[in-house]
Amino acid sequence: MTKQAVLALRQFHRSTGAVRNAIEQCQYLAALGYQVTLLAEKTAPELLQEARAEWVKVWKWPIKGKWRRLWFNLCVQRWLKKNPVDVFISHGDALSNDVLVLHNCLHLHHERVGTPLSDAAFFHERMLRAAGYRLLIANSCMMKQDIVKRFGIDESKIEVFYQGVDLNRFNYHQHDLKRAQGRARLKIEDDLFCIGLVTSGDFKKRNVALFLSIAGQVIQRVKRPLRFVVAGKTADLASFKRQAAALGLGDQILFVEPQDEVDRLYHALDLHLYPALLEEYGRVIPESLACGLPVLASQWVGATELMQDYPLSPLPSHELEVWVDRVVAFCEQDALQRDAVSAGLRIAQHYSQDKQFAAMVALIEQRDHQ
C-alpha cells in the first residue's frame, strides 16, 4: 500500500520562498515513494505539477484576520481525522502532531524591521507553545536560536534544514549566453558593472532604502560605469523612486518586476547586494551563488550561514559607510571577483537539492525517534 504524505500550506499560488520550500519537500517525499497531498486554500496548476502533488481545496474563511487562520487549522484537523496519513508536515498554518516547518520569526521581524506585529503572531505563538509536534524544522540557526530563547522550546526538538538549490535551473553553464539574454531583457549594455538586489517583495525587510543609499555613494567613488537594479514588487514603489531621484541615481537605477526566469537576472548582474534587516533564510542567496553571482549580504540573512570561508564575509551591521567601502573595494578588485565566483559555486554544489535530499530523508527517519 502506498504511503501517504500530507502538507498543509494556506497559500500555494505564488512562487515565494515558503512555496518553493514546500515544493522541494513534496518532490523529496514523492521520490521516496509517498503519495503527496497538499491542503491549501488556493494553488496554481503549474506549481502543483512541479510539486508532484494532489490538491485538496480548503474553503477560505471570507474575512481576513485570526478567524481565517483558525478556520484553516480546523479544516485541516478534520481532514486528518478522516484520512490515513503516514507523514504530516504543517508549514506554519496548522497545528501538527508530526512535523512543523517554520518560515518566519514574526516577533523577531517586528523587532528588527519595526513593522506592526503580524496578525498571524497569535497563532504562531500558540502553535509553538503547544509543542505537540515531534519535530520542528527551522530554516537557519538564527531562527532556531530565536525560537529557543523566545519560547523556551527544547533544542532537541528543533532541527535546522537548509533549503537546497536546484542546480538544473541555477548553474554556471552557458554563463555568457545567459548573461547576454538577461542584459538584453534589462536593456543594459555589456560593459556596465551591474549591482542588484533581487527579492519577491517586502522592500522594507530587504532594506532597499539602504541599497539605494549605498548606490548613491558608490557611483561617486567608482570610476567604471555602473548600473543598479532592484527586482521585486512593492505597493510603495513611488517612494523608493523618489529616494533614488534625490540621491541622483537617475537612469543608473532600474526597478523591475519579479522575473519569471530569475536565473537570467542573476547571470546579468555582477554583484548581488543584500543588506536585509532580517531574512530567515533567503533562497536568492544560494541561487545567486550557483549562477556564479558574488553576494555581499547582511549577517541577518539566514542563508549566509552556508558561506563559510567566503571571500565576501557577511556584514554584521547596517552602517552605510561600511557597506560602501566593501562595495567599492569589490568593484575595483578583479581577483576578488573571480575568487567570489569560484567560492560561490563550491557552496552551491555542497547545498544542492541532491545533497539536501539525503538530509531530508534523515530528518523524516529521525522524527520516528522523537
DSSP state of 235: T
Residues 42, 107 within the same domain: yes
Residue 360 has phi, psi (to 5 degrees) of -70, -40
Note the pLDDT of residue 243. 98
292 lies in which domain range?
175-350
HSE-up of residue 110 (Cα within 13 Å, Cβ side): 9
Computed over every residue of the chain, the mean pLDDT equals: 94
| Alpha carbon distance 164, 347 (integer Å) | 11
Residue 169 maps to a domain: no
| pLDDT tens-digit readout, 292-349 | 999 999 999 999 999 988 999 999 999 999 999 999 999 999 999 999 999 999 999 9
CATH classification of the domain holding 41: 3.40.50.2000
Q: What percent of the chain has pLDDT over 90?
A: 85
| pLDDT tens-digit readout, 90-126 | 999 999 999 999 999 999 999 999 999 988 898 989 8
214 pLDDT above the threshold of 80:
yes
Residues 30, 110 within the same domain: yes
Domain count, the chain: 2
Residue 359 contacts by C-beta under 8 Å, 6 or more apart in sequence? 161, 162
Residue 310 maps to a domain: yes
Residues 233, 102 within the same domain: no
| pLDDT tens-digit readout, 202-211 | 999 999 999 9
| pLDDT tens-digit readout, 218-270 | 999 999 999 999 999 999 999 999 999 999 999 999 999 988 899 999 999 99
| Alpha carbon distance 18, 283 (integer Å) | 10
217 pLDDT above the threshold of 90:
yes
CB 291 within 8 A of CB 266: yes
Residue 170 maps to a domain: no
pLDDT band at 370 (very low <50, low <70, confident <90, very high): low
